[in-house]
Amino acid sequence: MLDRFRVVGQEKKQMIRFSFIFLFTLLLFSSATGQEATLPPSPPTDVIAKDTPNDAGGSITITWKKSPDDIGAVREENKVKGYEILRSTESGGEYEVLGKTTAGAETYFDSHAKNGVLYYYKVRALGMQSFSESLPATPAKAKAQWLDWRRKYTFLLALILALSIVYFINQAKSGKQLFIRKIAGLEAVEEAVGRATEMGRKIFYIPGISDMDSMQTIAAVTILGQVAKKTAEYEAKLEVPTSRSLVMVSCRETIKEAYSNAGRPDLYNEDMVYYLTDDQFGYTAAVDGLFVREKPAAVFLQGQFYAESLILAETGNYVGAIQIAGTAQPAQLPFFVAACDYTLIGEELFAASAYLSRDPKLLGSLKGQDVGKFIFLFFIIVGSLFITFGIYDLSFLFR
């Protein structure tokens, strides 16, 4: 009986021993396979840190060759899921994590660098559970540059253009006669003002919906000066609703000056120019209302317009006004062409003041513009031929 108990006891011990060995083996095996799952991805290589060129300083560009375990990796278990960029101010010092990129990236801009401080960088490839780090890059310092060399061709082109404009202005000053082709829309200004006078109705001048920081608004205000001169001469009623306060002030000054130059300061009244609202469609609604109520004989739509262009022009057309439009917004030009009697297309808006005033200095500047056109035409033709025949790509000149 006792023996039987002894035998059973030995079997139990053997069972326990076996269980321990089995569990231990299992543990060893699982830790081994676990190690296989957390194998880190291969580190990125060729890490280079350089001062970011053509900037105001404060930035270092870090580039690297991505890990072989990045996008397209063969082994899914240690695939790179992103990179961390590490930075230190000492060679062997502690590195801090600066930022993170997605997988596939090979560039990072450290935009938090101080000018003149030497920085050391490492790039860390992040795997599913572990990571690997590159060797540190040669240290780099950020500094500000005096010239943005990417813009050298822009500078050259602008210089040639500016010099040719100045040259032709001087030519015009010295009395040389310059030809300017007839612009129908501007020839019609007198007709429009005359018509309004005859009919005893108002003339509305809409200087676009942009502020004085737009060249188109400046051009519109300049044309207003010429139109106002005519309305003063013809004693026509001029009204200018504006959508910007500064434009209101400029228009007032311009009209006041034009009326005084035309010898009719008595006809000028501050209320000829008034402000409506900055809101695009609020302004459109208000101007449309004015058109419908006042039924103007002539409407000038000059300056920067957007979606409101057709709404204004169609209403003007509906009330039977003679309409002269002008804008440098290519998307709005078809609407003006369809709904107005005359349209100044793009550059004609900027040429209008020279055309109307016939000031030789201003006409000279238009001639200078032609030089710019020749330069562009030359590069368009030569560039197209070069690309077509696979000789050379000239497009870098205009980047």
Partner 1 sequence: MRREVPLAITAIVGFALIIVYFIPHPPFNHSRDFFEDLFFIIAAFAIWLGCLNLLKVNADKVYRQKKGWLFSVVVWFGFFLMVIVGFWEGRGFMNPGTTFYYLYDKLYYPLNATMFSILAFFVASASYRAFRARNKEATILLIAALFVMLGRVPFGYYLSSWLPEGWRLGNITDWIMDFPQTAAQRAIMIGIALGIVSSSLRVLLGLERTFASGE
Partner 2 sequence: MNFLEKLLALDRRIIFLFIAIAVALPLFFTVKLHIEVTPVVRNLHNALEALPPGSKVLVSLDYDPGSMPELQPMAESFFRYCFMRDLKIIIIGLWPNGPIQANSALEVILNEPDIKKKNPKYGIDYVNLGYTAGNEVVIERMGSDIPVTFPKDYSGSKTEDLPLMKGVKNFNNIDFVYNLSAGYPGTVEWVLFGVDPYKIKLGAGNTAVQAPQIYPYLNSGQLVGLLGGMKGGAEFEIATGHPAKAVKFMFSQSVSHALICFFILIGNFAYFATRKKKGA
**Interaction residues for partner 2, span 103-122 (CB under 8 A):** 103-104, 108-109, 111-112
Helices (H), strands (E): how many in the chain? 10, 14
Write the single-letter amino acid at 109: F
Q: Does 399 bind partner 2 (CB under 8 A)?
A: yes
Name which position in 330, 388, 390, 396 contacts partner 2 (CB under 8 A): 330
Name which position in 63, 249, 386, 394 contacts partner 1 (CB under 8 A): 249
Tokens of 27: 């543990």
Between 191 and 239, whose beta carbon lies closer to partner 1?
A: 239
Query: Choosing among partner 1, partner 2, none, which partner's interface includes residue 221 (Cβ < 5 to 8 Å by kind)?
Result: partner 1
Between 104 and 265, whose beta carbon lies closer to partner 2?
A: 104
The CB-of-213 to partner 2 minimum distance in angstroms stands at: 8
Name which position in 21, 307, 337, 338 contacts partner 2 (CB under 8 A): 307
**In the stretch 312-351, what mask flags binding to partner 1 with x, by CB under 8 A?**
-xx--x----------x-x--x-x-xxx-----xxx-xxx
Query: Choosing among partner 1, partner 2, none, which partner's interface includes residue 322 (Cβ < 5 to 8 Å by kind)?
Result: none
Q: φ and ψ at 382, to 5 degrees?
A: -65, -45
Residue recorded with tokens 């020749």: 374
Task: Spell out the alpha helix ranges (H) of 152-183.
Answer: 152-173
Question: Of 66, 59, 135, which Cα lies nearest the Cα of 105?
Answer: 66
Between 358 and 399, whose beta carbon lies closer to partner 2?
A: 399
> Is beta strand 322-327 parallel, antiparallel or unpaired with respect to 298-302?
parallel
Tokens of 364: 């000279």
Residue recorded with tokens 């562009």: 376
Interacting positions 245-284 with partner 2 (CB under 8 A) = 280-281
Interacting positions 33-62 with partner 1 (CB under 8 A) = 54-57
Stretch (H or E) spanning 191: helix 184-199
Query: Choosing among partner 1, partner 2, none, which partner's interface includes residue 399 (Cβ < 5 to 8 Å by kind)?
Result: partner 2
Interacting positions 349-378 with partner 1 (CB under 8 A) = 349-351, 353, 357, 359, 361-362, 365-366, 368-369, 372-373, 376
Q: φ and ψ at 190, to 5 degrees?
A: -65, -40
Q: Does 163 bind partner 2 (CB under 8 A)?
A: no
Q: Give long-range contacts, CB 8 A cutoff, 24+ apart: 357-360.
A: 357/226, 360/172, 360/173, 360/175, 360/178
Tally the residues of the chain. 399
Query: Choosing among partner 2, partner 1, none, which partner's interface includes residue 104 (Cβ < 5 to 8 Å by kind)?
Result: partner 2
Q: Is 271 exposed, middle or buried (0-12, 13-18, 19+ CB in 10 A)?
A: exposed
Between 132 and 304, whose beta carbon lies closer to partner 1?
A: 304
